[in-house]
Amino acid sequence: MAVAPDGSSRIVIAGGGIAGLSLALALKQALGATFSIVLADPTVNAVPKADNRAYAVAAGARSMLETLGVWDAISGKTQAMTEMVISDSRTTDAVRPVFLTFDGEVEPGQPFAHMIENAVLVAELKAACLRVGVELRPVGVRRFLVEDETAEIVFADGTREQAALLVAADGARSKLREQAGIGWVGWDYGQSGIVATIGHERPHHGRAVEHFLPSGPFAILPLADGGKLGHRSSIVWTERTDNVAPLLSLDREDILAEIETRFGLELGEIALESPVSAHPLGFGVARRFVDDRLALLGDAAHLIHPIAGQGLNLGLKDVAALAETIVDAARLGLDPGTLDVLESYEKARRFDTVAMGAVTDGLNRLFSNDATPLRLARDLGLGLVDRLPGLKRFFIREAAGLAGAPPRLLRGEVL
């Protein structure tokens, strides 16, 4: 089937982040010449800026990237998580007792997550999209209008095109979600996530560490070796927002000293390998994930605290579910932009999203607190979980995205 000139066989994705690029690649690979896939983002062809973001890609998401043909190109730049250690202490404590440890494998030889730097993954997804014929258009989507059987997409340069479906992957402050009149329930945590890449002289051996401190969690996440000291980790330092501006105004040596107080001395000498940046943290979920001719993807649909490292993985689960919904509908000759079709995507993602949001919200409120009774209760709870291997395996499979009946791409199956 050739692409229809009226746009009924065109899908436009607004937003060129990891979720948007992954969806564009999955759809084009599955649908080929029968659909035109356009990814619109004003920065899609821009020279990448210095980027200190890194993500834990769970086992299910990794299977999807393997199926899409992306993983082999980046696997040499990833770091498997072989262990996760959780402690609960204050920055002034001389000893940080470990209350909970997780073996980093969901199955023998299969790590539950790999760390990958944002710039590496985005670059390969863009290259893969170009190879299969996705149109990467360096312009934003200004608005859309729903007409009889298509949506009219109005781009920021004034051009207009018809499409069967518009996917809003334009972030937590999605203008397209707002234009569609879809409500947003959420709140600000009064915290920010301070992010940086840290070099250190001793190897991390794939161990991820999460120190629960009174102002919020301080995560040390292992990256592939490199840098001046030979080894690297990414930090996600949750701090009260009121403290962030004074911290970021410190000179390089002073902010490194603040990091070292929280990082500890186990990995030896440390150094800053990237700029330090801060990002406000909050919770939010859209009241609907779909509308006529519109689907919300990733942060446009939900925003959670990074305490469990699941934000990106929730977005990639969205990709797998939405791609499966669209491809199955197209192969049956159905219109993929109708509410009847898109509602199956919402049903597939709604419960998991709300459940993960509730878990991360509860964990953050429980652990970003220095009250002695709460500290005793949570440390007791962590200790009990550490003694229940069955419960630990359940948590690992949940974090890996392999619990329940995941979409086909997360199971490593071709659409």
CATH code, 149: 3.50.50.60
User: In this predicted structure, what is the pLDDT of residue 108?
Assistant: 76
* Percent of the chain's residues with pLDDT above 90: 71
- 161-175, 205-219, 266-280, range with the lowest pLDDT: 205-219
CA-wise closest residue to 294 among 28, 11, 7:
11
At 378, the pLDDT band (50, 70, 90 cuts) reads: low
The per-residue pLDDT for 50 is 72
Please report the pLDDT score of residue 3 as a whole number: 47
What are the two backbone dihedrals, phi and then psi, of residue 141, each rounded to the nearest 5 degrees? -95, 125
Tell whether the model's pLDDT for residue 98 goes beyond 70. no
* Residues whose CB falls within 8 Å of the CB of residue 136, separated by 6 or more in sequence, listed in order: 16, 39, 41, 44, 45, 126, 129, 130
Q: Is residue 100 assigned to a domain?
A: no
pLDDT band at 106 (very low <50, low <70, confident <90, very high): confident
Token digits for 293?
């001719």
Select from 174, 179, 164, 170 the least CA-distant residue to 27.
164
- 239 has which bridge partners? 192
Assign 107 a pLDDT band (cuts: 50, 70, 90).
Answer: confident
* Helix (H) or strand (E) segment spanning residue 79: strand 79-80
Least confident piece of the model among 114-123, 207-216, 219-228, 370-379: 370-379
- Look at residue 37 in the predicted model and tell me its pLDDT: 98
Task: Report the distance separating Cα 116 and Cα 57, nearest Å.
Answer: 7
Position 89 in a domain: no
pLDDT > 70? residue 365: yes
Q: Is residue 248 part of a domain?
A: no
d(CA 398, CA 340): 29
| Domain presence at residue 386 | no
Using CA atoms, how far apart are residues 239 and 213, in angstroms rounded to an integer? 9
Residue 402 has pLDDT above 80, yes or no: no
**Distances, alpha carbon 38 to alpha carbons 76, 134, 167, 186, 398, in Å:** 30, 6, 10, 31, 33
Domain that holds residue 347: 10-52+118-186+283-366
For the stretch 181-190, pLDDT in tens is: 999 999 999 9
Average the pLDDT over 93-116 and give the result.
Answer: 76
Residue 170 reports pLDDT greater than 60: yes
How far apart CA 268 and CA 338 sit, in angstroms, is 57
How far separated are the first and last CA of the chain, in Å rounded? 18
Does position 376 have pLDDT exceeding 80, yes or no?
no
Q: Is residue 320 part of a domain?
A: yes
Q: Report pLDDT digits (tens) over 334-364.
A: 999 999 999 999 999 999 999 888 888 887 7
Region of poorest pLDDT, from 44-48, 67-71, 132-136, 242-246: 44-48
Q: Give CA–CA dist 24/17, Å, rounded.
A: 11
Q: Burial of 212 by CB count in 10 Å (0-12 exposed, 13-18 middle, 19+ buried)?
A: buried
For residue 337, being part of any structural domain is answered with yes
| H or E segment to which residue 78 belongs | none
Domain count, the chain: 1
- At 2, the pLDDT band (50, 70, 90 cuts) reads very low
Confidence at residue 4, expressed as pLDDT on a 0 to 100 scale: 52
Over residues 314-343, mean pLDDT? 97
pLDDT above 50 for 1: no
d(CA 243, CA 92): 17
Could you give the residue ranges of the DSSP H alpha helices within 252-338?
252-263, 311-331
pTM of the entire predicted model = 0.92
The CB density around residue 94, as the number of other CB atoms within 10 Å, is: 5
Mean pLDDT of 140-157: 94
Q: How many CA atoms lie within 13 A of 195 on its CB side?
A: 16
267 in a domain, yes or no?
A: no
pLDDT at 401: 72
Cα angle, residue 176 at apex, residues 174 and 177 outer, rounded to 5° = 70
Q: 296 in a domain, yes or no? A: yes
Q: Which of 15-24, 50-59, 204-213, 391-400 holds the top average pLDDT? A: 15-24
pLDDT reading at 368 higher than 90: no
Q: Using the predicted structure, report yes or no on whether residue 249 has a pLDDT greater than 90.
A: yes
| pLDDT one-digit tens code per residue, 122-136 | 999 999 999 999 999
Mean pLDDT of the chain: 89
Q: Quick: pLDDT tens for 385-395.
A: 555 565 556 66
pLDDT at 277: 95
